[in-house]
Chain A
Amino acid sequence: MTDTTPTDLPRQKGQMGHIIYVLRANPVTLIAFGMFAFLILSAVFGPALVPYDPLATNASNALQPPSWAHWFGTDQIGRDVFSRVIVATRLDLTISVAAVTISFVVGSVLGCIAGYWGGWLDIILNRCLDTIMAFPLFVLAMGIVAALGNTVENIIYATAIINMPFYARLVRAEVNIRRDAGFVRAAKLAGSSDVRVLATQIFPNALPPMMVQVSLNLGWAILNAAGLSFIGLGVSPPTAEWGIMVAEGANFIVSGEWWLALFPGLWLMFAVFTFNLLGDGLRDIVDPRKRT
């Protein structure tokens, strides 16, 4: 799998062709990938392209409704909401991607161990995972923040820990059903050690359902990060972040300044929706059996 042989060339071509096929066959997937590309672009280039400095205050221009100058209006201290919403994309995506990556990696390793070797290891791991799953996210986050400080990293860790059991469970189930499959025994006959069999033969087969979980979780992680910021944990003002912006804007809805909370909320929804749509497409792409 690791070394490149001449055979990898046609395979990669096949992979590209397959991706194109999946996108073409399913317009929803194509739209989802388009939306995802937009999010990525705004995360990468957004801070350089936005018309105003997201942190620059202008008291004389506070609480202006949406206009041509300020598309999404301005907030209570005159910052441009549009610029802040776009700039916040990078932070929110970073939090969710980092959190999901950590939980994916840790969950996969734990799930593989539990599913492949089974026995008491499996029992202990499962009970630990159950305990984590029973823990409310916000309580855990408060605990971590209280102990380690109010930083973005700690929010990432908290979200990752909460998500991890889902990956571990999924991988455990997928590994378990393939533990005694013919191709696994064949790989052992070919001289592969247990760890190698697990990594090269069994685990890749768990990827299709994992992809669905990943995409759903990315959306969920964004929502969590925003939620934690909303209640004052994690990202702190004046950093541009969708959750804080909604939290701050919420105070002004009663007085009629709806744009403060609405636009960051819409962006949040857009991001979560994108990730949810992405799942099926990603699964089809990593599943060679979908090829014809």
Chain B
Amino acid sequence: MLTVKDLSVMFQTRRGAVDAVRGISFEVSKGEILGIVGESGSGKSVTSYALMRILDIGGTIKAGEATYSGVDLRRAAERDMRDIRGREISMIFQNPRAALNPIRKVGHQIEDVLRQHAQATRYDARRKAIAAMEAVKINDAANRYDAYPFELSGGMCQRIVCAIALACNPRLLIADEPTTGLDITTQKAVMDLVRDLIRERNMSSILITHDLGLAAQYCDRLLVMKDGRIVEQGDPTQIFSQPQHSYSRKLVDATPRTGASVRDLLPKDMRAAAPVLNPSSAPILEVRNLVKTYAGKSGPVQAVKGISFKINRGQCVGLVGESGCGKSTTSEMLVRLMDATAGQIVFDGGDIAKIPARAFAKDPRRADIQMVFQDATDSLNPRYTARQTIAEPLRRLGKMRGRARSARIEELAGLVGLPLSLLDRFPHQLSGGQKARVGIARAVALEPKFLILDEPTAALDVSIQALVLNLLVDLRAKLGLSYLFVSHDLHVVRLLCDHVIVMKDGQIVEQGPAQQIMVNPQDDYTKSLIAAAPKPPERAIEIPRPELEKTHVEQTAIHDKRAS
């Protein structure tokens, strides 16, 4: 149905031409769901943009063919492309809120597509738009028709985007990271819906994602991309159980899954011995009846409703919940950036909730409680180099000057595995993983006793996530830190934490040892969280197979020939 042959895409940038896609070939047959998996910069999104001919300025298809049921997508006139987009091939974009026009009613946005492709007239557009909304299982579609995007939840917005994409009954659906940024239970709901619709309408689909587990669960066939090339393709179970290429093996290894320890995420040759952790039973932090109330438009809103828990010295506690459950509010209060409405935070024997957040900057305990922020890009000042960023706490709280500070910065860079040559770069000159390392170096600069990790790996590729998680484990062992690990991903939490707290609507619904929560959850909400996580196929037990290694070599050789 779609045949891509030797497709190459090039971008003209300030630093010269950059090859984003280097000669890839693949096919999508009717009724098939093809998964394209790769990490950021692998060219997977660019491939889909090239097929739709919506490349950014400076991007051109350098070579190759792309044929969609007889139409040459590379040479088709812009007029014809406009006809094809939406009606024949349509796309679901990554961020549903950005993909929808914020100031137009969602119903009108569906109508636009219908009328653009002459699928509806002025008189029946409304009816057809509502039908399209019903098709994506939006309850009470007639009323939602008049809603604006900001009035809908993230998952609901993504359903609207699906409705727009599917309104004209396209035959090929390209979904570019359709569930990134959505909660795990919403992700499952949206993905199940998309899969069912594709099957029902006998459409084909390309699912682009960085999440190998998700792709394996929903796709018939997988392509693994790296640096603009396809390194491996095949059946998901086969890729998972016997990855042929070293890169796909690395990806498979790095995907958090049941039964794997944090060390198992790393490629085999990088695995060090498991660190020795000895959490004590003396609490370093105790939270008692913590409450946070915001003044909302319709009365006060309780974000955190009287929670209590304990963190022992050297322990890692996971705080799990979906967006809006109050986990971020809790961590902000613990790190003393926000004042609690009521309750106590006993740290090292003293109640720090009594000290207002504003005055805590001058408190001697400031250096003992630090935080690693969720978004490494957002948490680094774009005007500061990595060195200046790490120097900030040393200068302000450590009162270190001159050479002593430089030495300490370099020591920290070594500790978090940041090459010294990168210290004088600005954040935009660093990769996601490097930025995360800078953020971690800053947080541990003053050797805090207690570190809050607010989804430190949420924005990272899986292989980088594996490295960062291992770094965190090593730091914990080396510096004897206590962690509060805030995350929505139970699989990641399980890797790091001894104890897990599950939060929902500002309350703790369940807490206990990590293993017990994962294996035998008591609360229905915890059960649904665990059930919603993508389940990659079980990995076959690895037995060294010489004949397999040989085929692997052959395959790479063939591939390289094709690519060059």
Q: Please tell me if the beta carbons of A189 and B424 are within 8 angstroms of each other in the complex.
A: no
Q: Please tell me if the beta carbons of B383 and A205 are within 8 angstroms of each other in the complex.
A: yes
* A7-B375 in contact given A191-B361, A191-B366 (Cβ < 8 Å): no
Q: Please tell me if the beta carbons of A7 and B381 are within 8 angstroms of each other in the complex.
A: no
Q: Please tell me if the beta carbons of A5 and B406 are within 8 angstroms of each other in the complex.
A: yes
* 8 A Cβ contacts from B360-412 to A: 361-362, 366-367, 369-371, 373-375, 378-385, 387-389, 391-393, 396-397, 401-402, 405-406
Assembled-state Cα–Cα distance A183/B435 (Å)? 12
B58 to chain A, nearest CB (A): 14
| Chain A residues, Cβ within 8 Å of B415 | none
Q: Please tell me if the beta carbons of B424 and A11 are within 8 angstroms of each other in the complex.
A: yes
Q: Please tell me if the beta carbons of A205 and B366 are within 8 angstroms of each other in the complex.
A: no
Interface string of A177-188 (1 = CB under 8 A from B): 000011101111
**B428 proximal to A (CB < 8 A):** yes
**Which residue of A7, A183, A205 has the most chain B CB atoms within 10 A of its CB atom?**
A183
* A194-B406 in contact given A182-B379, A289-B428 (Cβ < 8 Å): no
| Chain A residues, Cβ within 8 Å of B388 | 1, 7
**B79 proximal to A (CB < 8 A):** no
| Chain B residues, Cβ within 8 Å of A204 | 383
A203 to chain B, nearest CB (A): 10
B15 to chain A, nearest CB (A): 6
* A190-B337 in contact given A181-B378, A182-B375, A183-B381 (Cβ < 8 Å): no
Assembled-state Cα–Cα distance A10/B429 (Å)? 16
Q: Please tell me if the beta carbons of A189 and B382 are within 8 angstroms of each other in the complex.
A: no
**A193 proximal to B (CB < 8 A):** yes
Tell me if A's interface is mostly helix, strand, loop or mixed. helix
Assembled-state Cα–Cα distance A5/B374 (Å)? 30
B359 to chain A, nearest CB (A): 10
Assembled-state Cα–Cα distance A289/B397 (Å)? 28
**B472 proximal to A (CB < 8 A):** no
Q: Please tell me if the beta carbons of B337 and A291 are within 8 angstroms of each other in the complex.
A: no
Q: Please tell me if the beta carbons of A182 and B428 are within 8 angstroms of each other in the complex.
A: no
A115 to chain B, nearest CB (A): 17
Assembled-state Cα–Cα distance A111/B295 (Å)? 25
Assembled-state Cα–Cα distance A292/B380 (Å)? 17
**A57 proximal to B (CB < 8 A):** no
Assembled-state Cα–Cα distance A291/B15 (Å)? 11
Assembled-state Cα–Cα distance A193/B384 (Å)? 18
**A34 proximal to B (CB < 8 A):** no
* 8 A Cβ contacts from B434-457 to A: 439, 442-443
Contact of B405 among A5, A194, A289 (CB under 8 A): A5
**A256 proximal to B (CB < 8 A):** no
Shortest beta-carbon contacts, A-B, top 10: A182-B379, A190-B393, A182-B378, A191-B396, A191-B397, A183-B381, A182-B373, A190-B392, A190-B396, A288-B426
* 27 chain-A/chain-B pairs, Cβ below 8 angstroms: A1-B388, A3-B401, A7-B385, A7-B387, A181-B378, A182-B378, A183-B378, A183-B381, A183-B384, A185-B371, A186-B373, A186-B379, A186-B439, A187-B381, A187-B392, A189-B335, A190-B392, A191-B362, A192-B361, A192-B392, A193-B361, A193-B362, A196-B396, A205-B383, A291-B426, A291-B428, A292-B429
19 extra A-B contacts, CB within 8 A, seeds A3-B401, A191-B397: A7-B385, A7-B406, A25-B14, A182-B373, A182-B375, A186-B373, A186-B392, A186-B439, A188-B361, A189-B337, A189-B393, A189-B443, A190-B442, A191-B367, A204-B383, A205-B382, A288-B382, A289-B382, A292-B14
